[in-house]
Structure 1
Amino acid sequence: MAGGSPHFPVREDWLAMVSEEVLAPEQVILDAHHHLWDRSEGRYRAEELHDDLASGHDVRASVFVQCRTGYRADLPAALQPLGEVETVLNWCGNQPNFPAAIVAFADLQLGEGIRPVLDALMDASGGLVRGIRNTTAFHSHPAVRSNPTPPPDGLLRSSAFFEGARVVAEYGLSLDVWAYQSQLDEVFALAKALPELSIIVDHCGGPLSVGPYDRRSPAAFEEWRKALQRLASLSNTRLKIGGFGLSVMGYRYADAPVPPQSSVLASDWAPYFSACLECFGPQRAMFESNFPVDKGQFAYRTLWNAFKRLSADFDQSERDDLFWRTAARTYRIDDQIFVND
């Protein structure tokens, strides 16, 4: 980890040590979750995103997800995240459909007071803001950390958060939630209380393999699977499959002398992928890169090859759901981007 960051540092020279042929190059892709930033830990702006997009897969569009980029210190605290939307659109101005949708930050703890923030975000984005996400992944154990600035406990349970989420639904926006497996019951309570709100659960619902959790423990896996299954029983929930490069997932590919091949990734992730699909099915699940967070552990081409290996036994319609259609429906992105050559 670099500079206290919970993420593995990106090493381009290490990633370049392994190169694969692109599998199923005809498969159209919508990258349902990536970030852009310029931090002390590294830079991942439009140019770096473009380099990854050019690695061979047919990625037609993407969804940018908030990560505290470019906040405006000249505005009141509640409106400072407006700068993130402005910065990302400025960086990506010459790349149509990257992003095709934005998941922005607006503090749900504002409750009803979130309205002017949502108005400003939607206006600044020209309608590209389709969802909101807050920093909510919390665990009391110090080893379970995936955010440079972890949130306090209880945000997902607070009455103000529920009220802010209700307003998000009223605006026709969705809510992305990054929560660990230990918090999925809280996400369930939120989704059940607000059936009109579309909730997208990030990174497979946060299966944990650090601190008190052991991937080799059937009990830990089953705890995650059962909580995910319960959440999937609510029709207003969706799932992003990815995030396996997060340190809390427990994989240590970055420690190896060479990067992993996609066959290794697919084999490692198969039990989680199978459980995710058993719970949500292809029509309510979508693949995500989670770059550049996951880029410290594997390359963009390798990642999408792994997803193609995992979904190889599905029919074409189901693969299209996973690779683009579910995300396009969820974030209201024009299908024509993906069906026209």
Structure 2
Amino acid sequence: MTEAIIEPDLPIIDPHHHLWDLRPMLPMFPQPHHPFIAAIVPSAYYTFDQLHAHMTCGHNIVATVYMECGAFYNGAYGDALKVVGEVEYVNGVAAQSASGLYGPARYCAGIVGHADLARGSGAGAVLDALQAAAPRRFRGIRHAAAWDADPEVLGPPFHHPQGLYLDPTFREGFAELGKRGLTFDAWLLEPQLPDLIDLARAFPDQPICLDHVGTPVGHASYKGKLHERFDEWRRNIRELALCENVVVKLGGLAMAFCALPEDGPAAGHGSEHLAALWRPYIETCIEAFGADRAMFESNYPVDYWGADYAVLWNAFKRLARSASADEKAALFAGTAARFYGIEDVLG
């Protein structure tokens, strides 16, 4: 769907996108594909050219933050350190962008990698190696904890151990982040939000970002239950917002998991329709956290399931129409710049 760009001059830092080449992995996924896999098959190869095409769609993308996705691992480094390969690759993409040959935007100005915090204090050595791989851009890690008793909700690739954020050994590894001034991105499902609340309270000085507004679930055994679970999600979001060390990413709602929209991939919905679907979740988060602790995100290319990149940001701008100029500046760039320590990209 083609739309005129809303507020084309508004500076945007996209704080959550991926790069990958999943083509060798696709044959390993069982048929028929889980909805998430079906959504990403059209973009199984998503590297610099595709990223650049989306970032130059008409919105004023000034910088981005790369989010780990298990891509480009280097097995030659061994099991614990193979994750360094991802950061090395992305740091090269960031250098490519920083050359200025592709325009003024600074892609991957911040890099969030992965380290297995379930290794306990041993995760510290991995964190040091990640920092060494991109000393000017590495900002922290994401260690997802998404789990559900129904295996159809997530499918095989994303089923993490139950109660991971409550595990003492994981928390031993989590403590290594604070020693190095690193950020933590959390991805889990809406019913698991109490686990993150507990983690945030246990580490009140650790900067934590909740990805994808906590991922409301609307398919598999949760199909048709978004409305009945909304109050529980809202209660937990308000409780989490009381932890001042936590910020929230406003996005991810176009993922297949959420069924907002239910049809996809790239169903062709306009920004007005998408804004209406997402409004209860986005407005609740902004009200709970405030604009200075909330940031819009694309989650691309995953959210291609429900929204073209240009349409996605138009939907966010519709949702922020009542915000003040200062609030918009925070929601679209300022919060991300501060949380990930890339304020220099704003001039």
For structure 2, which runs of at least 5 residues remain unmatched after alignment? 24-40, 99-105
Query: Cα deviation per residue 1:149-194 (whole Å; 9 max; x = unaligned)?
Result: 4212121111011111111111100110001111111101111011
Q: Which residue of 56, 62, 65 corresponds with 1:63?
A: 65
Structure 1 counterpart of 2:46, one-letter code: Y
Q: Could you say which residue in structure 1 is the equivalent of 2:253?
A: 244
Match of 1:260 in 2: 269
Alignment of 1:163 with 2:172, yes or no, is yes
Partner of 2:157: 148
* Aligned counterpart for 1:31 among listed residues 14, 17, 23: 14
Matched letter for residue 113 of structure 2: A
- Secondary structure in 2 aligned to 1:78? coil
Native 8 Å contact 2:215 2:253 kept in 1: no
CA 282–22 in structure 1, closer or farther in 2 if over 3 Å, else same: same
| Counterpart Cα distance in 2 of 1:146 and 1:71 | 21
Given that 1:34 and 1:290 are in contact with CA atoms closer than 8 Å, whether structure 2 keeps it comes out as yes
Cα 1:214–1:94 shift into 2, 3 Å: same
- One-letter identity of the residue aligned with 1:288: E
Q: CA deviation at 1:216?
A: 5.8
Structure 2 counterpart of 1:135: 144
Q: Distance in 2 between matches of 1:215 and 1:224?
A: 15
Q: Name the TM-score, length of structure 2 as normaliser.
A: 0.89
CA distance in 2, matches of 1:35, 1:257: 17
Partner residue of 1:7? none
Cα deviations by residue, 1:293-314 (Å, 9 ceiling, x for unpaired) = 0113211100000000000000
Q: Identity over aligned residues, as a percent?
A: 37
How far is 1:93 from its partner? 2.9
More helix by share: 2
Give the AA of the match of 1:108.
Answer: L
Write the mapping of 1:97-136 to structure 2, written as runs, cut at 5 A.
Answer: 97-136=106-145
Structure-2 change in CA distance of 1:207 and 1:217 (3 Å): closer
Q: Give the stretch that moved more between structures: 235-244 or 272-281.
A: 272-281
Question: Does the Cα contact within 8 Å between 2:113 and 2:140 map onto a contact in 1?
Answer: yes
Task: Map 1:1-341; keep pairs closer than 5 Å.
Answer: 18-40=1-23, 41=41, 42-96=44-98, 97-145=106-154, 148-214=157-223, 218-252=227-261, 254-255=263-264, 259-334=268-343, 336-338=344-346, 340=347
Normalised by the length of structure 1, the TM-score is 0.90
Counterparts of 2:246 and 2:205, CA distance in 1: 10
State whether residues 93 and 108 of structure 2, in contact with CA within 8 Å, keep that contact through their aligned partners in structure 1.
no
From the superposition, tell whether residues 262 and 146 of structure 1 become closer, same or farther in structure 2 (CA, over 3 Å): farther
Gap change, CA 1:267 and 1:252, over 3 Å in 2: closer
User: Displacement of 1:254 after TM fit?
Assistant: 4.2
Deviation string 1:47-98 (CA, Å, 9 cap, x unpaired) is: 1000000100000000101101111111121100000011122334321221
Per the TM alignment, residue 26 of structure 1 is displaced from its structure 2 partner at its CA by 1.3
SS at match of 1:144: helix
> Aligned partner of 1:91: which letter?
V
RMSD after superposition = 1.7
Distance in 2 between residues matched to 1:330 and 1:172, nearest whole Å? 11
Mapped contact 1:69–1:87 kept (Cα < 8 A): no
- Per-residue displacement from partner, 1:206-264 (whole Å, max 9, x unpaired)? 11222343556543000110011111111111100100121111134644895011111
Number of positions where the alignment pairs a residue of Structure 1 with one of Structure 2:
321
Q: Is the 8 A contact 1:104 1:133 kept in 2?
A: yes
The structure 1 segments of at least 4 consecutive aligned residues displaced by more than 6 Å after TM superposition are: none
Instruction: Give the Cα separation in 1 of the matches to 2:278 and 2:138.
Output: 31
